């Protein structure tokens, strides 16, 4: 019995590892362009919806349908957040625009979203906006970070947002997170400063005051809050690629992690139920498991970078500095093929063998205008060149001259499948983009001509 249980555990572990190792790809086209995108619950929906602003109009996605919420705002929308500013159990929309850094609160009334009084003008465009009940009074509050690095906190009251606290002029705030660090239902604001330290603001006796500060080694690139049930934790990653973590323990803030994390990129996000999503200008998007003294990569998609990320409906959404929104999804195994800009996926056979792509040569030959015939040996010719290819061989013969190949020639159903290595001898290159599962065939203006 014990042996059977042991074998079952091994099988489950192997299955789990295979599941975690599932690869992701980025969809060919951005989901949205030049748009502000957030996730929030409106209209008492059980699941969050994608809420999107394009210029001065805000809508949400109901399946594939766009349902307009607010339009004709003054200025372009720079940030959106969802929360109960009115204290009535229904979520409101908090919206920032470029019109004097205006910050609006909208409440839904019989299907119409109405502004709660006049906006608050911050006189700087809002870069980051979060809405949560900081002081546990039943009204959600707004925490705002402007483009010039000013942090402001506005207290919510019956749908209005009242300016309450802002950072000093000699500070430039780079990032913030909101987290209940000790389980008392009061939300702390954790923020990082460009000069190189991390600080926590806490609600105490009807005011906000500094609870804690720390000076890690190096400037701070990323700040992450991990709610983690009764044991919340917050992390920073510095320019020295050191990861530091802290948590509250027995009424004191203590160090929870400190190790070198050179694998992590410049942007880091905690995705509940998945792990740490790292965005790097060099390596792209990677998902990591966070361990006590290391991070372990689960998958990587090259060429993806951005300033904001979240997970929704089996996909990771990444927004870049141009406000283009990319979506990463589990790889389907189906490759799209193009001859320059023309899609030819349905016209060319493809095999994927040991992470190497092989293309049905006869399909490509017809498109390229090559003459060919053969059975076991296949002959291709164009102009004054004759190419002989044998199935399962590792060489190609051009006008009687044998050239060795690294990749084998494969045969399926009496047809030859070859790798991109061999295509070069026909005057073509296959540009393989694995992060998008896309192959583009382009002319190789080389010796063939």
**Residue holding tokens 């084998």?**
408
Query: In whole angstroms, what is the distance from residue 342 CA to residue 339 CA?
Result: 5
Residue of 385 and 441 predicted with greater confidence: 441
In CATH terms, is domain 336-443 a member of 3.40.50.2000? no
pLDDT of 45 higher than 80: no
Residue range(s) of every CATH 3.30.457.10 domain in the chain: 336-443
Return the closest-CA partner of residue 265 out of 216, 218, 221: 221
**Mean pLDDT over residues 202-206, rounded?**
92
Query: Rounded mean pLDDT of the chain?
Result: 89
User: Worst-scoring range by mean pLDDT, 39-43, 135-139, 266-270?
Assistant: 39-43
Residue of 17 and 280 predicted with greater confidence: 280
pLDDT, tens digit, for every residue of 340-385? 989 999 999 999 888 789 999 989 988 888 888 876 678 888 777 7
pLDDT for res 446: 58
Query: In whole angstroms, what is the distance from residue 282 CA to residue 304 CA?
Result: 9
User: Residue 393 — very low, low, confident or very high, per pLDDT cuts 50/70/90?
Assistant: confident
Residue range(s) of every CATH 2.130.10.10 domain in the chain: 24-330
Q: What is the pTM of this model?
A: 0.81
**Mean pLDDT over residues 380-409, rounded?**
85
Instruction: Tell me how far the alpha carbon of residue 388 is from its chain's centroid.
Output: 47
**Mean pLDDT over residues 165-192, rounded?**
95
User: Residue 13 — very low, low, confident or very high, per pLDDT cuts 50/70/90?
Assistant: very low
pLDDT of 8 higher than 60: no
pLDDT, tens digit, for every residue of 279-312? 999 999 999 999 999 999 999 999 999 999 999 9
pLDDT for res 186: 94
Instruction: Tell me how far the alpha carbon of residue 356 is from its chain's centroid.
Output: 26
User: Residue 23 — very low, low, confident or very high, per pLDDT cuts 50/70/90?
Assistant: confident
Token pair belonging to 183: 């389980």
pLDDT for res 353: 84
pLDDT of 7 higher than 60: no
User: Worst-scoring range by mean pLDDT, 8-12, 268-272, 302-306?
Assistant: 8-12
To 5 degrees, how large is the angle CA 89–CA 203–CA 144?
Answer: 70
pLDDT of 21 higher than 90: no
Q: What is the dihedral sign for C-alpha 406, 410, 416, 417?
A: negative
Determine how many CB atoms are found less than 10 A away from the CB of residue 283.
18
**Mean pLDDT over residues 227-239, rounded?**
92
Q: Which CATH number fits domain 24-330: 3.40.350.10, 1.10.730.10, 3.40.309.10, 2.130.10.10?
A: 2.130.10.10
pLDDT of 394 higher than 70: yes
Q: State percent of the chain over pLDDT 90.
A: 69
């Amino acid at each position: 019995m014990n042996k059977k249980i042991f074998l079952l555990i091994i099988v489950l572990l192997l299955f789990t590892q295979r599941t975690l190792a599932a690869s992701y790809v980025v969809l060919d086209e951005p989901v949205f362009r030049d748009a502000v995108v957030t996730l929030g619950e409106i209209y008492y929906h059980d699941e969050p919806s994608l809420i999107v602003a394009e210029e001065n109009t805000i809508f949400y996605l109901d399946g594939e349908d766009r349902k307009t919420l607010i339009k004709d705002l003054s200025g372009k929308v720079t940030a959106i957040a969802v929360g109960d500013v009115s204290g009535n159990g229904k979520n409101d929309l908090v919206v920032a625009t470029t019109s004097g850094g205006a910050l609006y609160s909208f409440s839904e009334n019989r299907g119409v979203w109405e502004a709660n009084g006049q906006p608050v003008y911050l006189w700087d465009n809002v870069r980051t906006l979060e809405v949560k009940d900081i002081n546990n009074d039943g009204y959600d509050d707004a925490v705002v970070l402007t483009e010039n690095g000013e942090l402001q906190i506005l207290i919510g009251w019956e749908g209005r947002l009242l300016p309450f606290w802002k950072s000093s002029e000699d500070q430039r705030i780079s990032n913030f997170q909101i987290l209940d660090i000790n389980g008392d239902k009061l939300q702390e604001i954790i923020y990082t400063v460009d000069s190189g330290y991390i600080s926590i603001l806490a609600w105490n006796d009807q005011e906000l005051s500094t609870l804690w500060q720390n000076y890690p080694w190096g400037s701070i690139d990323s700040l992450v809050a991990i709610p983690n049930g009764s044991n919340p934790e917050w992390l920073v990653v510095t320019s020295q690629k050191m990861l530091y973590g802290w948590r509250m323990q027995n009424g004191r803030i203590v160090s929870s992690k400190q190790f070198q994390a050179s694998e992590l990129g410049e942007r880091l996000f905690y995705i509940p139920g998945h792990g740490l999503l790292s965005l790097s200008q060099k390596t792209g998007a990677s998902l990591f498991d966070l361990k006590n003294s290391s991070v372990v990569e689960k998958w990587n998609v090259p060429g993806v970078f951005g300033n904001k990320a979240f997970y929704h409906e089996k996909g990771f959404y990444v927004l870049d500095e141009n406000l283009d929104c990319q979506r990463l999804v589990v790889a389907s195994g189906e490759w799209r093929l193009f001859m320059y800009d023309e899609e030819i996926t349905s016209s060319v056979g493809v095999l994927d063998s040991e992470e190497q792509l092989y293309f049905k040569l006869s399909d490509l030959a017809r498109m390229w205008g090559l003459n060919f015939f053969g059975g076991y040996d296949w002959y291709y010719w164009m102009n004054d060149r004759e190419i002989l290819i044998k199935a399962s061989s590792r060489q190609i013969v051009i006008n009687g001259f044998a050239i060795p190949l690294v990749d084998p020639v494969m045969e399926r159903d009496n047809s030859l499948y070859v790798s991109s290595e061999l295509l070069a001898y026909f005057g073509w290159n296959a540009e393989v983009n694995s992060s998008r599962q896309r192959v583009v065939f382009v002319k190789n203006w080389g010796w063939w001509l």
